[in-house]
Amino acid sequence: MAYYFEEPSHTFSEYLLVPGYTSADCIPQNVSLKTPVVKFKKGEEPSLTMNIPLVSAVMQSVSDDKLAIALAKEGGISFIYGSQTIEDQAAMVARVKGHKAGFVTSDSNVRPDSTLQDVVNLKEKTGHSTVAVTADGTPNGKLEGIITSRDFRIGYADMNSKVSEYMTPFSELITGKDGITLSEANELIWKHKLNSLPIIDSSKNLKYMVFRKDYASHEEHPLELLDKQHRYIVGAGINTRDYMERVPALLEAGVDIMTLDSSEGFTEWQRRALHDIHAKWPEAKIGAGNVVDRDGFMFLAEAGADFVKIGIGGGSICITREQKGIGRGQATATIEVAKARDEYFAKTGVYIPICSDGGIVHDYHMTLALAMGADFVMLGRYFARFDESPTNKLIVNGNYVKEYWGEGSNRARNWQRYDMGGASKLSFEEGVDSYVPYAGSLHDNVTMSMSKIRHTMCNCGAVTIPELQQKAKLTLVSQASINEGSAHDVIVKTTSLHS
């Protein structure tokens, strides 16, 4: 006879946290959101931690190199999507690792014989008023000078004049040598009252520009997630088919962490992939999933997963439950897998972090997932709304939106994710193509979301995530109390969208 779970499966919206005692030092500024990403032995430190408990989904419409850099600045990790060629994915990883915080490749360049009109045109195109003058007009050509919009006055200067007549020539420039640190560059910027500092190699070729305003931005990101060589940490999604070629290319590009990306991870294919990858590249860190119960977790734990991802059918763009009738409420799945993780830890002394993937709609859902035992959460829709996500921003019915599509939609055609073995490819859709409301910058939104988590943790008397998991008191809510939770019995004056 089939097995029946005794409890119905629940979603995050059916739970609330009940406050615990808040002591005087339990204030948002004292809350640490640091969390482990990969498994570790009792008493030891995990080899990879994050400063905020957020990772971005392995999706074409979410995680490219640009979003990865923006999220690493805030302290989280992006998993660059795997539904692209190995070369393209490795190139994205390499771009994240090659991006030196605060050091930018000059995007506005002219030659000494270019005209002032060329400078004005360039400024209109890039929006940047500091233009490097290189011998061949390329970003890494021999530096001849710098010209800014303050060097000539439109309406007074002849716009056909040569740049060389108006630029600050190399002989009068303060420059930094390739290899200097950001702090050293900043010292020079302050000492010489500069707005920008060109960084050159021994042959006077321009390597980077450091801008005063970017250093300020670097200072604004105290939680940024960097490796030992001060490069941003980045992840990538892999599949159970081409991993023997994809993994070495990603490792070569400098990837820090990978995850098997599959709609259903309780499979022989994941066991084989984890075994083969760890045998060939023992240092590689690989997450696996997705699972929704104890059995699935134990299977992947035994198979060697470095973290385990939870969630089937809860994603905002997901129609798996409708199409195939499989899945489980995300809250119930997280609670059961967290229990299994604790059981495994008690038995083996190995702590395997778990990630709640999909179905986060409100910021408080993140806090609930953490309180239920997740070490971090993976989000797609949330990040898709921001400037940094890879998709188009459009106006639909007078509102700004961004595009967001599932990996199982015909648009993404990520058939490996839904592969159940055999030769057949994706034959029916498990995801939709959609719009999400545009929400501005990743920094502003993540700052706000993390602030809400910190405040709620203080309500629960917790200043760390493990403490929250220990102290949290959760209650299921009735439909009537859900209604009671939003504005009711009043005529609301203005409407606004809360996330």
Query: Is 53 a residue that touches ligand IMP (CB under 6 A)?
Result: no
Q: Which is nearer to ligand IMP, 33 or 57 (CB)?
A: 57
Give the one residue of 64, 240, 430, 454 binding ligand IMP; rule: CB under 6 A.
430
In the set 246, 385, 417, 454, the catalytic residue is 417
Residue 470 Cβ vs ligand IMP, minimum distance, rounded to whole Å: 27
Instruction: For residue 24, give the amino acid letter.
Output: A
Alpha carbons 133 and 78: distance in angstroms, whole number: 35
Q: Does the active-site annotation cover 318?
A: yes
Residue with tokens 């400078």: 119
Give the one residue of 97, 381, 402, 454 binding ligand IMP; rule: CB under 6 A.
381
Q: Which residues are registered as beta bridge partners of 168?
A: 146
What single-letter DSSP state applies at residue 212? H
Alpha carbons 163 and 22: distance in angstroms, whole number: 64
Among the listed ranges 39-47, 175-183, 333-341, 374-382, the one in contact with ligand IMP (CB under 6 A) is 374-382
Contact pattern from residue 223 through residue 262 relative to ligand IMP, giving x for each residue in contact according to CB under 6 A and a dash for the rest: ----------------------------------------
Alpha carbons 152 and 413: distance in angstroms, whole number: 52
Residue 15 Cβ vs ligand IMP, minimum distance, rounded to whole Å: 17
Report the residue count for the chain. Answer: 499
In the set 26, 318, 458, 460, the catalytic residue is 318
Query: Is 360 a residue that touches ligand IMP (CB under 6 A)?
Result: yes
Q: Does the active-site annotation cover 417?
A: yes
What are the residues whose beta carbons fall under 8 Å from the beta carbon of 124, sequence distance 6 or more?
Answer: none
Alpha carbons 331 and 326: distance in angstroms, whole number: 15
Alpha carbon 174 to its chain's center: 36
Query: Is 379 a residue that touches ligand IMP (CB under 6 A)?
Result: yes
| Residue 147 structure tokens | 């010209």
Alpha carbons 390 and 60: distance in angstroms, whole number: 8
Number of residues that bind ligand IMP (CB under 6 A): 24
Nearest CA to 102 among 212, 241, 23?
Answer: 212
| Residue 69 structure tokens | 């850099």
What are the residues whose beta carbons fall under 8 Å from the beta carbon of 123, sequence distance 6 or more?
Answer: 108, 129, 131, 149
Query: Is 265 a residue that touches ligand IMP (CB under 6 A)?
Result: no
Alpha carbons 66 and 73: distance in angstroms, whole number: 11
Among the listed ranges 111-119, 331-339, 355-363, 447-455, the one in contact with ligand IMP (CB under 6 A) is 355-363
Give the one residue of 145, 176, 304, 406 binding ligand IMP; rule: CB under 6 A.
406
Residue 357 Cβ vs ligand IMP, minimum distance, rounded to whole Å: 5
Alpha carbons 45 and 36: distance in angstroms, whole number: 9
Residue 74 Cβ vs ligand IMP, minimum distance, rounded to whole Å: 17
Contact pattern from residue 182 through residue 221 relative to ligand IMP, giving x for each residue in contact according to CB under 6 A and a dash for the rest: ----------------------------------------
Query: Is 316 a residue that touches ligand IMP (CB under 6 A)?
Result: yes
Residue 323 Cβ vs ligand IMP, minimum distance, rounded to whole Å: 9
Among the listed ranges 148-156, 229-237, 347-355, 375-383, the one in contact with ligand IMP (CB under 6 A) is 375-383
Give the one residue of 320, 332, 389, 456 binding ligand IMP; rule: CB under 6 A.
320
Pair 388, 67: CB distance under 8 Å? yes
Q: How far is CA 39 from CA 35, 175, 203, in A?
A: 11, 45, 46
Residue 311 Cβ vs ligand IMP, minimum distance, rounded to whole Å: 6
Residue 117 Cβ vs ligand IMP, minimum distance, rounded to whole Å: 47
Give the one residue of 73, 380, 456, 465 binding ligand IMP; rule: CB under 6 A.
380
Query: Is 315 a residue that touches ligand IMP (CB under 6 A)?
Result: yes
Q: Which is nearer to ligand IMP, 184 or 433 (CB)?
A: 433
Residue 388 Cβ vs ligand IMP, minimum distance, rounded to whole Å: 16
What single-letter DSSP state applies at residue 162? B
Give the one residue of 31, 54, 303, 317 binding ligand IMP; rule: CB under 6 A.
317
Q: Which helix (H) or strand (E) holds 455?
A: helix 442-459
Nearest CA to 21 among 473, 386, 482?
Answer: 473
Pair 377, 54: CB distance under 8 Å? yes
98 to 127, contacts with ligand IMP by CB under 6 A? Answer: none
Residue with tokens 């839904």: 418
Residue with tokens 């990978």: 258
Query: Is 363 a residue that touches ligand IMP (CB under 6 A)?
Result: no
Residue 328 Cβ vs ligand IMP, minimum distance, rounded to whole Å: 13
Count of CB atoms within 10 A of residue 451's CB? Answer: 13
Among the listed ranges 33-41, 202-210, 277-285, 317-325, the one in contact with ligand IMP (CB under 6 A) is 317-325
Pair 408, 263: CB distance under 8 Å? yes
Pair 290, 262: CB distance under 8 Å? yes
Query: Is 409 a residue that touches ligand IMP (CB under 6 A)?
Result: yes
Residues interacting with ligand IMP, by CB under 6 A?
57, 59, 263, 311, 315-318, 320, 357-360, 378-382, 406-409, 430-431
Could you give the residue numbers annotated as active site? 318, 417
